[in-house]
Amino acid sequence: MVRLQKWVEIIDMYLFECGLESDEWRKVIVIYGSVLLTFVVSLYAILSGRTKKWIAFTLVSSFLVAVFGWEIWMNFGLIDGQHVTVRRTDALNCAIPYQINWLTNSIVDTGVVWLGIILVNKYYNHSALPFEKFVWPAFLILFIWYMGQNIWVEMILYHNQIGSDARISWGPMMPLGPWFNPTLFNFGEREATLQAQSVWFIGTFLFYYLAIFYYRRFQGK
């Protein structure tokens, strides 16, 4: 307990030295809090023996899709995009270093995929139906959740980092890159763009496919 408190104090000191503004504090808390929650829930599921193989494989695969599908590309601006350090303030670059930014975001993405699976399971009362085959109601639940959270991320959480005048690299899950990136809709001065939203539009199909594939492979175990 003493060691844990010491680590908390060290983290607090480290973050305070970054000189974060109030809105930047909220972003940092959301990101690190989401990472911590994903780890805690994962650890509980593993230790309690409640982790099913098909879910574990779906989540590991989803993590890899997030890393190599868009997070690495967006983080380092690999193809005609701005490096994440250019799109953020010095304070945010201090609080969430670019060396781990792609990793923290990918972990949060995996948590988002997991929560989508949980929502479908709850809606179908843990029936095998939505994962034995493609069914539209299950897909729509995933689509609404995945796209809804991504719109919030672009327009609220990461505004000016992936929206507005930010130039994001091409990536496999963003096939049109920054070269064709129209604004889909606006909310005040905030906007949702095709490039940023294409990630989870494509991702909804892909993550649902992975869930069905692994559910069948491991027969729901």
| pLDDT-derived band at 49, boundaries 50, 70, 90 | confident
Average pLDDT over residues 194-219: 97
Dist CA 25 CA 119 (whole Å): 29
pLDDT in tens, 102-140: 999 999 999 999 999 999 999 999 999 999 999 999 999
Sequence-separated (6 or more) residues with CB below 8 Å from residue 155? 163, 187, 190, 191, 192
Structure confidence at residue 157 (pLDDT)? 87
Is 60 exceeded by the pLDDT of residue 88?
Answer: yes
Structure confidence at residue 1 (pLDDT)? 54
Is 90 exceeded by the pLDDT of residue 210?
Answer: yes
Structure confidence at residue 16 (pLDDT)? 81
Q: What is the DSSP string of 38-56?
A: HHHHHHHHHHTT---HHHH
pLDDT in tens, 128-173: 999 999 999 999 999 999 999 999 999 888 876 776 678 999 999 9
Predicted TM-score (pTM) of this structure = 0.91
* 21 C-beta neighbours (distance < 10 Å), count: 11
Structure confidence at residue 187 (pLDDT)? 84
Taking a C-beta distance cutoff of 8 angstroms, is the pair 154, 162 a contact? yes
Dist CA 4 CA 177 (whole Å): 43
Structure confidence at residue 17 (pLDDT)? 86
N-to-C CA span, the chain: 36
**What are the boundaries of each domain within the chain?**
22-217
Please classify residue 187 by burial: count the beta carbons closer than 10 Å to its beta carbon, then call 0-12 exposed, 13-18 middle and 19+ buried: exposed
Mean per-residue pLDDT over the chain, rounded: 91
